[in-house]
Chain A
């Protein structure tokens, strides 16, 4: 059991920290036996997708690689993203490029909405002051400019960042299908 005076101090710090920064200070979490990951899970494991067992085929590849191909495949299937990136667009007029991009944007965005939930790491206004708390995660917050002193540090939010909160990819295809981003199409007359 933590001493009362410490509990009181934690309570006040949590209160202001939640109010101003939207999160519980890292050291308090640790003292209470929790970890940051429990409160804000980073890149959670795919939930809906059943974990694939053994990979079939000649060259077994780890599932994470298959998942990367799969995501590319989804962006291609619904959004034609790979076709777009692989095309030389330098010769097309902006109007034509714009028309295609609008359509690709809409459909790729739908893919993200469906399969990957994203949230900003620091959900406040960009170009406004924020406080980087003690014990922050260097992977989640990158300090730029005149980086000196000890956290908590005040600074201006230049980019809110993105974090994946949930991945719900469909089941992986079997065997050689895992390397396919888009199947070739052959029309039988």
Chain B
């Protein structure tokens, strides 16, 4: 092969991006490039963008003039993906799929069934969250192939190493579904990578060899990633291995559906109230416009720290353009009150976010975070790390046990704003002082350049690192996984038999390793499906393979069941004793196997994601 590329894909909640570097060059010379993605930006208009908005519009016969959706490689695409999808969706949300990625990680929804667009007329043919993710990847694949593998020459994306990023908070199911989406898109060599790690790799890349001077053994880096739709935290510890610095991802947070879109909408609502107080009526369509204008005004005010206000002008509809024009202002004070105080309030490290409300007949939609305070979510994340940890790694802790980072790395579009970074550091410093540590200075805030593309770039860099051409973050399993064992107790009417959890994959179990669950065999009937309840925890990190737990409170959550059918020639109906074996694969997924007691036969347990919701 003439030139081989390594490709990093950031499959984002609101924007996706693709970056690549040449595989053969040494890591320090690996120039990482961001691929431009041609997409429909208006009917009849294809333009290059470095981001592909993760929006999909399902056009009906009455949506666009004939031929106006033609792409250079497809005269009549079935779906509109990218900027035009986002624009058109604002005019008629019924056919728009947004936030497909958040649906991937939402266990209460049936993620392999056609459920998107959510709540939409019958006539719209729907897609599953997995299909939508796969369509985004297919789009990027086509773009890549048009650019790099035209006429059968060069490197088709299907043949290349692709590093696909997922939120660190994705559980095993969501990762498995992402893997399936990549497979459906024809990416044969896709490896998963956690986004905060990718952001850290992007920082490493930007530092060249200088990163060794910025951090030292014992340091703890908080990666704080606030994107358009989600907030994600990770901790990376710096330790020593064979005399060199080694990096290890030691904690990941929960999946928090809270991001820049919430912030812009909050501003739009504020201005809507202000305008309505003046006697104007703002309809849904105008609110959309206001949302868009608020985002632009916010960015202007964040970039120009001296200006105190920015005009927001909503032009009149129809022919009464000037006559219907409504003008208001977005003040710096509004930003401070709504964004800084609303989303990043000064809170104590013991102030936890409000829990999700549980109403009997809760409308099934995405479980948006009930509490908008990013700082409270951070407080919970850092204090969750206090009870348990891996023995092998020393996390810096304060008097109360709070995990106390020595550095912060910001990622995500929201964190471009200096004011918000400043506030987050201020809150963190307050906690650090209380815990008896020195505050973080400017040198402790690590700057990854190009926040919009950092994750894709970092993913491409990791691709090189995996080939031994750069430093790697050791991560392994992001959670502890358990198999549920129902206790052998007399049944009590109306009560489920108490469940025990058998640890099968400890937190941090390394990629490419396997473990046999000791001292426990299961009797399975040959030829009949056997089901295992499957559980996970982001909090419990002290459990070892084979540990059996009861009464874990809210520390462990149940996932979709695992299923296996043992088939063995001529042994129909027989009961076969098996042991459980777990494996973390090189591509970052988890496998559980049943192994016959003589070790001669193995059967793989598959996540049964579909069946859970079809009761």
- Residues of A participating in the B interface, judged by any CB pair closer than 8 Å: 77, 80, 83-84, 86-87, 89, 92, 96-97, 99-100, 102-104, 170-174, 177, 187
Contact = CB atoms under 8 A, between A and B. Distances in A.
Interface stretch (B39-47, B443-451, B601-609): B39-47
Contact of A99 (B45, B66, B67, B327): B327
6 contacts: A89-B322, A96-B322, A96-B325, A97-B322, A100-B325, A103-B325
Given A102-B313, A103-B313, A174 B66 contact: yes
Nearest to B321: A83
Interface centre among A77, A100, A170 (most CB of B within 10 A): A100
B357 interface: no
Contacts of B325: 96, 99-100, 103
Contacts of B322: 84, 87, 89, 92, 96-97, 100
Contacts of A97: 322
A89 to B, nearest CB: 5
Contact of B311 (A96, A99, A104, A171): A99
B68 interface: yes
Interface in B300-333: 311, 313, 315-316, 318-323, 325, 327
Interface of B: 42-47, 65-68, 70, 285, 311, 313, 315-316, 318-323, 325, 327
Contacts of A89: 322
Nearest to A173: B44
A100 B311 contact: no
A170 B46 contact: yes
Contact of A100 (B47, B66, B315): B315
Contacts of A173: 43-44, 65, 67-68
A170 B68 contact: no
A99 B312 CA distance: 9
Given A103-B313, A173-B68, 19 more contacts: A80-B321, A84-B321, A86-B319, A92-B323, A96-B322, A97-B322, A99-B325, A100-B321, A100-B325, A103-B325, A170-B42, A170-B45, A171-B44, A171-B45, A173-B43, A173-B65, A174-B67, A174-B68, A187-B285
Interface of A is mostly: helix
A87 B66 contact: no
Interface centre among B66, B70, B315 (most CB of A within 10 A): B315
Nearest to B62: A188
B42 A80 contact: no
Contacts of B70: 171
B275 to A, nearest CB: 13
Contacts of A177: 44, 65, 68
Contacts of B45: 170-171
For the complex of A and B, the 10 pairs showing the least CB-CB separation, nearest first, are A170-B45, A99-B327, A83-B321, A103-B313, A100-B325, A100-B322, A174-B67, A99-B313, A173-B44, A89-B322
A171 B67 CA distance: 11
B318 to A, nearest CB: 8
Given A87-B322, A100-B322, A172 B313 contact: no
